[in-house]
Structure 1
């Protein structure tokens, strides 16, 4: 039996057993032990990996990023040749991933919102068609949908020499859709700077308009003002840059299309597949958000004589967004991560370029670490933005 310790004055002091019986002390001890085990496991894995790499004479580090890539990439948003470095190649893959993820998020939000509202339509045909769309594409694995669209898209268009031209200077072939684009000019850089400046000005005008509304109760036409500011500044920059009109027009030369911008079948398959699949989940999120709004809001809008479309746009949807934003964030994250499946249809995203880099350099751990870190960063950026947006949409109690 442990001896009871007596402090001066006859007050009993705590012994070791008393501390171990304290829940807070035990919680701290357990956390220290858990952290120690994690560190020990990490040290073992890292040291064991380095030993195995050294035993097999495999170099480590990221020095390979400065070496010549020596492989081509079918589509790139920046200047790239096989003589570019591996770092440039990985940047091309990253930009391709961001492009398809960003466009997919925008399109799935629009399509999902439309079908989510249609699920609640009073029209039986519209309601059932929306339900069929959601239940069909939601229950087919996204990888199979990518294969499906990649098999459909090239076969839907003829060869280059028989290209379709539904719109003047727009050519549709089994190698993609070719559209005219402006020839590079400094004026477009000025327009980009003007667009950024316009967005900054619109932000401060919006804050001023909100303060004016709170102080006087008089609304300010912020939408039209924003359109005017943005279009006006961009137009001024365009005119100041010389108002260039030269266009790069796609034309049939030999057995292929030259010029213009090519929207490849691989990109279309990935974009359509991810958009359709994710939009079904967005539709359910929107539907549940609308149903979460109390029915009294509809009744109040009806009592004011508002049309159902106006009630939905001005009253119901803004309130439903407060419920829908958190699950929408999950769907945006899923779409971004599902974009890694693009490698299955040959789209040169980050994973595809990283795999080629890994095969040529043997730097498997480094290549995998890079695209794991990139996807983690993209997910965190998306989460931070959506959390900020969620806080902006939240009700502020007075």
Structure 2
């Protein structure tokens, strides 16, 4: 009876809240027709998009902001993962200086507000770097100033055979197919290596195969891509690709902040493994690199993924602080639209839906990766125990069959 009473009270409160919200918002009109009207203003930090604030719609402007958020989050996820693994492993290093330096990095960036870090990085970029008049020029190939970093960037062209610009798409397709073939060959060589104990060099062969496919197809298609070198026009960069201070500050701040948390996840996951596994790897004479890549990290990965997924989701949501450094992400752009024309309810509904879709997409990818790793570990377990299987594979990779160590 008490359980039913609690549920009835909960439903009553929920109904009252919904009724109150509907009544409070019921006097105004709702709709998304305003999104089809011209934006009437322009934004910066554009990359791979063609946006004109005077003619493009507000919906187009919003999607430009979404793209700006996606590229920041994608770069942050990649860089913070690499940084987190390196720092996490360094925390367990027998070197006192290295381990303490890694600990200082984690404690400093993990316990400092993210917004403060991003603003500091932005201030360093604006006031710590030389002006565009005193730009740092590295061989007319790279420029560095408080306007950002200008880098060479590939650009499509007709090539030797005078083909269409879309030939670059053909070359990208060839690269994708070549990468898939190289991965398939790598997997097959690894299986042969595991079965026979003979060294097959799967990584070297796969990388060489992919490089060969890329180079041969590049020339056969008439060199459909050329490198566009940056130049300086007045007080701005032209041509090439410019990494603006706003993008750099936001990316750097999110990377070190997220990387500090990932480092602790990596450290804890490695320390959670039984010490006997490390001792077994040492007993067969594996190097530190082999022990880490063949024994430790593959087993710790299954424990890392759920926690690392949470950090990826946090990075996605934390990117909304871009407003603090004037980077035009989806939250900043949506706020500009709302401030100019109102429709705050519709705008914030779009913000909530967009962040939800991005977070669910990240979760989907990580869940698929987690499922594949779990399935692979179970498959290893059907043949033999996970540790024994990895030790046998590592030992065979180190000592070819028929030879003695």
TM-score by length of 1: 0.84
User: 1:161 touches 1:252 (CA, 8 Å); kept in 2?
Assistant: no
User: 1:209 touches 1:220 (CA, 8 Å); kept in 2?
Assistant: yes
CA distance 1:229–1:42, change in 2 (3 Å) = farther
Q: 2:347 aligns with which of 367, 392, 398?
A: 367
1:128 is matched with: 100
Judge which range, 360-369 or 285-294, deviates more: 360-369
Judge which range, 306-315 or 216-225, deviates more: 216-225
Give the Cα separation in 1 of the matches to 2:31 and 2:210.
46
User: 2:156 touches 2:224 (CA, 8 Å); kept in 1?
Assistant: no
- Structure 1: gaps spanning 5 or more residues: 1-19, 54-58
Instruction: Give the CA deviation at 1:284.
Output: 0.5
Give the Cα separation in 2 of the matches to 1:100 and 1:392.
27
The CA RMSD over aligned residues, in Å, is 2.7
In the TM superposition, 1:29-48 aligns within 5 A as: 33=8, 37=12, 40-41=15-16, 43-44=18-19, 47-48=22-23
Paired residue secondary structure (1:183):
strand
CA distance 1:174–1:358, change in 2 (3 Å) = same
Matched, 1:303 2:303: no
State the Cα deviation string for residues 103-122 of structure 1 (Å, max 9, x = none).
11111111111111111111
Instruction: Give the CA deviation at 1:202.
Output: 4.9
User: 1:161 touches 1:256 (CA, 8 Å); kept in 2?
Assistant: no
TM-score by length of 2: 0.82
- Structure 2: gaps spanning 5 or more residues: 158-164, 383-405
Instruction: Give the CA deviation at 1:286.
Output: 0.5
1:170 is matched with: 142
State the Cα deviation string for residues 277-317 of structure 1 (Å, max 9, x = none).
11111110000011011111111111101112211121111
Q: 1:325 aligns with which of 305, 308, 311?
A: 305
Give the Cα separation in 2 of the matches to 1:276 and 1:114.
12
Give the Cα separation in 2 of the matches to 1:356 and 1:252.
30
Paired residue secondary structure (1:84):
coil
Give the Cα separation in 2 of the matches to 1:311 and 1:382.
30
1:13 is matched with: none
1:261 is matched with: 241
Give the Cα separation in 1 of the matches to 2:145 and 2:315.
28
2:38 is matched with: 68
Instruction: Give the CA deviation at 1:223.
Output: 3.0
